[in-house]
Chains A and B, each alone.
Chain A
């Protein structure tokens, strides 16, 4: 240890808002590194959305053509697919908290001189980023389902995906903080993600549903992402007024048609509430 004659000493500065911002950035960046190094994941998380879009969409086309007023079924379910591609990836991002706990790395972050809230926020931003990236891949397929590449449309879809991805990651983290094993998390996710997807109206118009389904649909957070997404896409389609009425009826609360901006607000509000719960849970865990 003769080299130790000149020890390079370092100093750990006191905590400040800058150190918190830095911690968020570190957690966010790690999420991106992990995502980029796992190319299998990018491919596998595309499988499900594409199955729904092209296989289910093409397969049911003959059955549904009478009801869609000439609109391709793939075009109709495309906005829903834009949402679920984000849903699956964001959930998977949140799962890494369980993973990190199982493999011990979480502890390294728990003992660092940073607030737990910075870790959670960094995680949610990281999940939102990678999920939006995944969403952009699906967005790029718009031409294949007769949706035009319009700058306003692309930007709008991207913003909605970003909001949804953040909310879903916050929701996933909220669940993941309580779970100690990856296997149980996967089970819980299956139990939550599939019902959320099927109840959201991603695959059917939400007007004229049976009473019980209408109630469940209005309680599903994903509904408030699918609907504005569909309105945005349909506003750029050249279709008959009848088709528009049937396929894009909008979500109502006791007869009141929710404006798209209000729906986006619901997503943001839910996201912030779940983020707050996730932070509170994470800070309380020892």
Chain B
């Protein structure tokens, strides 16, 4: 006898045509997406793309201008408290009380959320052990390093068993070792409690861990898919060459091969269908001396560059990169 078919679980996050304007500025212009329960969802985009505003709307800190969003089954505008009961938040900026100990911070959080006092000690211990801070539970948070604070924030965000955990660049500014351990916690927790994770990151290697990725630019989602599908959509291989004269190389690539290349991080970069077989032709026909060459399969960095016209590193260093980004966009325009 077949088991009774259970209806598909409702999405953990369901966003429909969400917009937010600050005066004349449209920060978010019609975002729609759905995140399944238990999914790890990555949210990428250059600075100022509207990521933070979107997250703030989803966690009820900012009221949407139009459109709707449901998180953990509740409307973010009309059922704010119900949403808040079911979400955990780890922000980019620290939100711990430095005067209190690690334990006092977690206890305060648990009480604020109304968790049954009988289970608080056990839950607290489990969370602190998960992030390797149990030994430091009685130390004031102000004595903690950046990585320890971030781990404690994650432990706190999880204290109340949230259905959805929002992580805003959770590993920024941390050393690689701490970053990988934080990812270990995120994965472990997602498996043990079926928590849905909605995160932003600037690290492309982290985006690979996500089940699906949305890339946002200028207030809109430009693409949304699994990392594999996104890489496949870029298709072509990335070829990077160092030359004696980059300007001449750019001109020669256009003239000889009809390829639009760009200079990124001091190297001429372009995309071709099969890189390995193209390289011999390049050396024979370019006419500009080449000092080094590399061919790589598409990475998420390439995906990001294709869809937003900037590398994630450019996006991270805001301000001065704006002009750079504009030129890149013009250049990559032909490829879109």
B95 partner, pick from A4, A108, A114, A286, beta carbons under 8 A: A108
B292 interface residue (CB < 8 Å to A): no
For the complex, give the distance between the alpha carbons of A13 and B81 in Å: 11
Q: How far is the CA of A109 from the CA of B110 in the complex (A)?
A: 12
The reply to whether the CB of B193 lies closer than 8 angstroms to some CB of chain A is: yes
Question: B193's contact among A9, A103, A109, A114, by CB below 8 Å, is which?
Answer: A9
The answer to whether A108 touches B130, judged by C-beta atoms less than 8 angstroms apart, is no
Q: A112-B84, A286-B61, A286-B63 are in contact. Are A9 and B161 (CB under 8 A)?
A: yes
Task: Determine the chain A residues whose CB is within 8 A of the CB of B100 once the complex forms.
Answer: 30, 33
CA of A111 to CA of B161 in the docked complex: distance in angstroms? 15
What does the 1/0 interface line of B67-86 toward A look like (CB < 8 Å)? Answer: 00000000000000110111
Verify if B97 is at the interface (C-beta below 8 Å from A): yes
Interface pair A7/B115, CB less than 8 Å apart: no
B113 adjacent to A113 (CB under 8 Å): yes
In whole Å, how far is B264's beta carbon from the nearest beta carbon of chain A? 35
Task: Give the residue name and chain of the A residue nearest to B162 (CB).
Answer: A12
Are A104 and B94 in touch, CB under 8 angstroms? yes
B89 touches A111 (CB 8 A): yes
Residues of B within 8 A of A10 (CB): 110, 115-116, 119-120, 123, 159-161
Shortest Cβ gap from A19 to chain B (Å): 5
Collect the chain A residues with CB atoms within 8 Å of residue B120's CB.
Answer: 10
Q: Which of A3, A15, A37, A104 has the most CB of B within 10 A?
A: A104
User: B156 — nearest CB in chain A belongs to which residue?
Assistant: A108
- Which residue among B82, B100, B104, B113 has the maximum number of chain A CB atoms within 10 Å of its CB? B113
Q: Does A260 contact B (CB under 8 A)?
A: no
CA distance A29 to B107 in the complex (A): 12
| Binary interface encoding of chain A residues 11-33 relative to chain B, with 1 for a CB under 8 A from any of its CBs, else 0 | 11111000100110010001001
A30 contacts B97, C-beta separation under 8 Å: yes
Tell me, in angstroms, the Cα distance from A3 to B122 when the chains sit together. Answer: 13
Q: Are A111 and B61 in contact (CB under 8 A)?
A: yes
- Could you tell me if B126 and A108 are in contact, using CB atoms closer than 8 angstroms? no
With most chain B CB atoms within 10 A of its CB, the pick from A3, A100, A111, A112 is: A111
Interface centre among A26, A100, A103 (most CB of B within 10 A): A103
Q: A113 vs B192: C-alpha distance in the bound complex, in angstroms? A: 24
A262 interface residue per 8 A CB criterion:
no
Flag if A26 contacts B112 (CB, 8 Å): yes
Query: In the bound complex, do residue A23 and residue B112 qualify as a contact, i.e. CB atoms below 8 Å apart?
Result: yes
How far is A12 from B160 in the complex, measured between Cα atoms in Å?
A: 7
Q: Which of A62-114 contact B (CB under 8 A)?
A: 100, 103-114
Task: State A23–B160 Cα separation when bound (angstroms).
Answer: 15
Q: Using Cβ atoms and an 8 Å threshold, which residues of chain B touch A9?
A: 161, 193
Near A by CB (< 8 A), chain B positions 85-109 give: 85-87, 89, 91, 93-100, 104, 108-109
Given A1-B188, A3-B126, A114-B112; A105-B97 close (CB under 8 Å): yes
- Nearest CB of chain B from residue A30's CB, rounded to whole Å: 7
Whether B98 lies near A103 (C-beta < 8 A) is yes
CB neighbours (8 Å) of B62 from chain A are 286
Residue numbers in A under 8 Å from B192 (CB-CB): 1, 4, 7
B17 on the interface (CB 8 Å rule)? Answer: no
- Confirm or deny: A180 has a beta carbon within 8 angstroms of a beta carbon on chain B: no
A104-143 residues with Cβ-Cβ distance < 8 A to B are 104-114
Chain B positions within 8 Å of A1 at CB level: 130, 188, 192
Q: List 10 A-B contacts (CB under 8 A).
A: A4-B188, A8-B119, A8-B123, A12-B86, A33-B104, A103-B94, A107-B95, A112-B113, A113-B81, A114-B112
Q: B-contacting residues of A (Cβ < 8 Å)?
A: 1, 3-4, 7-15, 19, 22-23, 26, 30, 33-34, 37, 100, 103-114, 286
Q: A9-B161, A30-B108, A113-B82 are in contact. List 16 more A-B contacts (CB 8 A).
A: A7-B193, A8-B122, A10-B159, A10-B160, A11-B116, A12-B113, A14-B85, A26-B111, A37-B99, A104-B96, A108-B97, A111-B60, A111-B61, A112-B113, A113-B114, A114-B81
On B, residues with C-beta under 8 Å from A are 56, 59-63, 81-82, 84-87, 89, 91, 93-100, 104, 108-116, 119-120, 122-123, 126, 129-130, 159-161, 188-189, 191-193
The 10 closest A-B pairs by CB, nearest first: A113-B84, A104-B95, A1-B188, A12-B85, A4-B192, A108-B95, A113-B85, A112-B112, A107-B95, A113-B81
